[in-house]
Structure 1
Amino acid sequence: MFEPVTYSKNMEDKYEQLSQQGEALLSGETDQIANLSNVTALLNQFLDRVNWVGFYLYKEGELVLGPFQGLPACIRIPIGKGVCGTAAETGNTQVVENVHEFPGHIACDAQSQSEIVVPIMIGNELFGVLDIDSPDLGRFSEEEGALLEKFVNRITPFIGE
């Protein structure tokens, strides 16, 4: 059974706890969809002030909706389009303080105001992206982006094909 965790107030320590919890949750399970689903649930529980957490997986030249927590979402996103497509194309985490100012933003939930997207690479190949939206402007920081990148790197062995 999954027990609630009291997280540290320090952001770096907090994300270390999250990474350890993620590894423990996924360890021993090989089903990709089950593991991706549990990661979205874990992040949704862990993060405050978010309204969507999920994965878009790279398939046949585009991003396709994977497991998520939140309102129904766009199913397919072209590479290079919107925040997710830009992260996939550049291979760089995108931290967007105000999605309405991002060129070509794809609005799936009108409540979303800010967004962070972390590309997921397995070897040198794009696997997909982790996408997190918030109803608050400026919710995400560059520091949190770097910590989410570390988290993604730690869970990648459990979600890769």
Structure 2
Amino acid sequence: MTAFERVEYNRTREENYELLFRQLEALLEGETNRIANLANASALLYQFLDEVNWAGFYLMEGEELVLGPFQGLPACVRIPLGKGVCGTSAERKETILVDDVDQFPGHIACDAASRSEIVVPMIHQGEVVGVLDIDSPVLSRFDQVDRVHLERYVEILMKHW
């Protein structure tokens, strides 16, 4: 398997995530450009996850998050720290899983089709450098299995930061 060939994810969720991690490691191997790595990481997630309409990154710039590489429809460019799911995740330095975005106070709707969301902070040397944001048009799309594995996905990315 090379990092670039299309793979069928037809095993258990755990086995599929393990395959995803191997693919991510292969994509990151030897590449030092962060934008290139985040672009490939967002594309990999977008083709791996079913029932998602947006997968990408926001990067810290001063006191706000700025849109980074992503897959999906055009998105909000700047999100203040502490605002919306992304800004709240970055401020708290913790993953936030939202079953219904309409129930999240201050949710920032970039795509009206989004119904649920998961945001994982990207922490490097104790500082938040960005967030991984994934949206779905399906209520309660993400669960604790996704949370654990997407946190590991970000950890792998941070090893190559």
- TM over 0.5: same fold? yes
Q: Which residue of 2 aligns with 1:74?
A: 76
The whole-number CA distance in structure 2 between the counterparts of 1:111 and 1:8 is 27
Following TM superposition, by how much is the alpha carbon of 1:4 offset from its aligned partner in structure 2, in angstroms?
1.3
Say which SS state the counterpart of residue 9 (structure 1) adopts: coil
The whole-number CA distance in structure 2 between the counterparts of 1:111 and 1:6 is 27
The whole-number CA distance in structure 2 between the counterparts of 1:95 and 1:143 is 11
Structure 1 residue 57 corresponds to structure 2 residue 59: yes
Q: Which residue of 1 aligns with 2:20?
A: 18
Aligned pair count reads 159
- Describe how 1:53-132 pairs up with structure 2 within 5 A: 53-132=55-134
Gaps of 5+ in 2: none
The whole-number CA distance in structure 1 between the counterparts of 2:73 and 2:8 is 27
Q: Which residue of 2 aligns with 1:150?
A: 152
1:135 paired residue among 125, 131, 137: 137
* Normalised TM-score (structure 2): 0.95
Q: Which residue of 2 aligns with 1:41?
A: 43
* Normalised TM-score (structure 1): 0.95
The whole-number CA distance in structure 2 between the counterparts of 1:34 and 1:27 is 12
| 1:103 alignment partner AA | P
Following TM superposition, by how much is the alpha carbon of 1:8 offset from its aligned partner in structure 2, in angstroms?
4.7
| 1:24 alignment partner AA | A
Percent sequence identity over aligned pairs:
59
- Give the RMSD, CA atoms, in angstroms: 1.1
The whole-number CA distance in structure 2 between the counterparts of 1:79 and 1:61 is 6
Bigger relative contact order (CA 8 A; separation at least 6) = 1
Say which SS state the counterpart of residue 53 (structure 1) adopts: strand
